[in-house]
């Protein structure tokens, strides 16, 4: 038995996402912030050659700033605690109908005055990428329009995968969504949004003076390949992936 009621499961299936407020305590979020700040200042981690680090240019100066660390749970005890939080696993188990395995984990800093992410779906068309992949985004800071909160297209996951099936990241043309309206999802620290890997989403630029930090996790159903996080990251770091991200204006420390 899990605690999510049938109405919420039906809402998730219809809309492709579900917001759960106050899932994580202030104490846990404070410890996540300590992890995030410690890592950002750690020159053994934030350095040339570390492919965990993603950088983005400042909107005006063009200076490249630390934008994300992935994978992250093995470096940050509080973030690992969030990834394994019984309340979150309970929601996932309700949505997927069975236990889940962590597939990917990321800390997004989104510094002040940096771009957002273009419209995309998180499903990757690798032959064995788990079709049950379900994302959980956790707000570490207040996440609102001004600092580039996430924006989703409710119900658009039902259209299936809308990009070429070449295994690469693709930004999506909003025209493919048949005029479906989008919805900004504003979150307080400790709130979470669960969403389907086919749900088109994007985020705007951070026009505030502070970073807008999110945790971003992917899970798959246990019966859909079991624990495959290591395999996922082996492939994630292939040269094609790096080259593609660079071609989109994202730079790595390398
Ligand atoms: O945190 C954000 O701005 C959105 C992240 C996202 O959509 C992604 O990493 O796929």
Q: Over the chain, what is the mean pLDDT? A: 92
Assess whether the C-beta atom of 196 lies below 6 angstroms from ligand 1: no
Test site for ligand 1: of 72, 106, 117, 211, most ligand atoms within 8 A of the Cβ: 117
**Is 1 within the bounds of a domain?**
no
User: Model's pTM, two decimal places?
Assistant: 0.93
Assess whether the C-beta atom of 140 lies below 6 angstroms from ligand 1: no
| Position in ligand 1 atom list of the atom nearest CA 203 | 3
What's the burial of 222, exposed, middle or buried (CB within 10 Å: 0-12/13-18/19+)?
middle
CB 235 within 8 A of CB 156: no
DSSP state at residue 59: T
- Per-residue pLDDT reduced to its tens digit, 90-105: 999 999 999 999 999 9
Q: Which helix (H) or strand (E) holds 252?
A: strand 251-252
Confidence of residue 243 (pLDDT cuts 50, 70, 90): low
- How many A from CA of 117 to the centre of ligand 1? 6
Assess whether the C-beta atom of 214 lies below 6 angstroms from ligand 1: yes
Tally of domains within the chain: 1
The CB-side HSE value for 200 (13 A sphere, CA atoms) comes to: 27
| Position in ligand 1 atom list of the atom nearest CA 137 | 1
Assess whether the C-beta atom of 122 lies below 6 angstroms from ligand 1: yes
What is the span of the domain harbouring residue 60?
6-252
Assess whether the C-beta atom of 150 lies below 6 angstroms from ligand 1: yes
- The protein residue with its alpha carbon nearest to ligand 1, atom 7, reads 202
- Per-residue pLDDT reduced to its tens digit, 105-164: 999 999 999 999 999 999 999 889 999 999 999 999 999 999 999 999 999 999 999 999
Average pLDDT, integer, range 62-82: 96
CA geometry: angle at 195 spanning 194 and 199, to 5°? Answer: 165
- How many A from CA of 203 to the centre of ligand 1? 7
Assess whether the C-beta atom of 117 lies below 6 angstroms from ligand 1: yes
Enumerate residues 6+ apart whose C-beta is below 8 A from 189. 26, 29, 139, 140, 141, 142
**Is 43 within the bounds of a domain?**
yes
**Is 72 within the bounds of a domain?**
yes
115: domain CATH number is 2.60.120.620
Assess whether the C-beta atom of 201 lies below 6 angstroms from ligand 1: yes
pLDDT of residue 248: 55
Enumerate residues 6+ apart whose C-beta is below 8 A from 92. 100, 134, 136, 194, 219
**Is 162 within the bounds of a domain?**
yes
**Is 157 within the bounds of a domain?**
yes
CA gap 121, 172 in Å, rounded: 8
- Per-residue pLDDT reduced to its tens digit, 201-235: 999 999 999 999 999 999 999 999 999 999 998 88
Confidence of residue 31 (pLDDT cuts 50, 70, 90): very high
Torsion sign, CA atoms 203, 208, 211, 212: negative
Distances (CA, A) of 251 to 44, 48, 58, 114, 153: 18, 11, 12, 13, 28
**Is 243 within the bounds of a domain?**
yes
- How many A from CA of 214 to the centre of ligand 1? 8
- How many A from CA of 1 to the centre of ligand 1? 31
Test site for ligand 1: of 150, 204, 245, most ligand atoms within 8 A of the Cβ: 150
DSSP 121-145: ------TTS-TT-EEEEEESS-B-G
């Amino acid at each position: 038995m899990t605690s999510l009621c049938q109405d919420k499961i039906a809402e998730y299936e219809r809309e492709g996402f579900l917001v759960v407020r106050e899932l994580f305590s202030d104490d846990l979020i404070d410890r996540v912030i300590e992890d995030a700040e410690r890592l950002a200042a750690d020159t053994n981690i934030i350095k040339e050659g570390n492919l965990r680090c993603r950088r983005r240019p400042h909107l005006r100066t063009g200076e490249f700033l630390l934008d994300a660390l992935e994978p992250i749970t093995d470096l940050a005890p509080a973030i690992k605690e969030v990834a394994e939080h019984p309340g979150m696993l309970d929601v996932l188990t309700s949505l997927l109908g069975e236990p889940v395995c962590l597939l990917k984990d990321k800390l997004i800093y989104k510094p002040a005055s940096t771009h957002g992410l273009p419209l995309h779906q998180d499903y990757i068309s690798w032959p064995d990428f788990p079709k049950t992949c379900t994302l959980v985004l956790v707000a570490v800071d207040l996440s609102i329009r001004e600092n580039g909160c996430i924006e989703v297209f409710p119900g658009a996951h039902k259209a299936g995968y809308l990009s070429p099936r070449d295994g690469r990241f693709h930004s999506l043309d909003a025209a493919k969504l048949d005029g479906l309206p989008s919805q900004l999802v504003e979150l307080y620290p400790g709130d979470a949004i669960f969403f389907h890997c086919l749900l088109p989403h994007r985020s705007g630029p951070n026009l505030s003076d502070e970073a807008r930090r999110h945790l971003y996790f992917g899970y798959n159903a246990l019966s859909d390949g079991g624990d495959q996080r290591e395999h996922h990251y082996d492939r994630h770091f292939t040269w094609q992936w790096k080259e593609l991200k660079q071609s989109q204006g994202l730079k790595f420390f390398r």
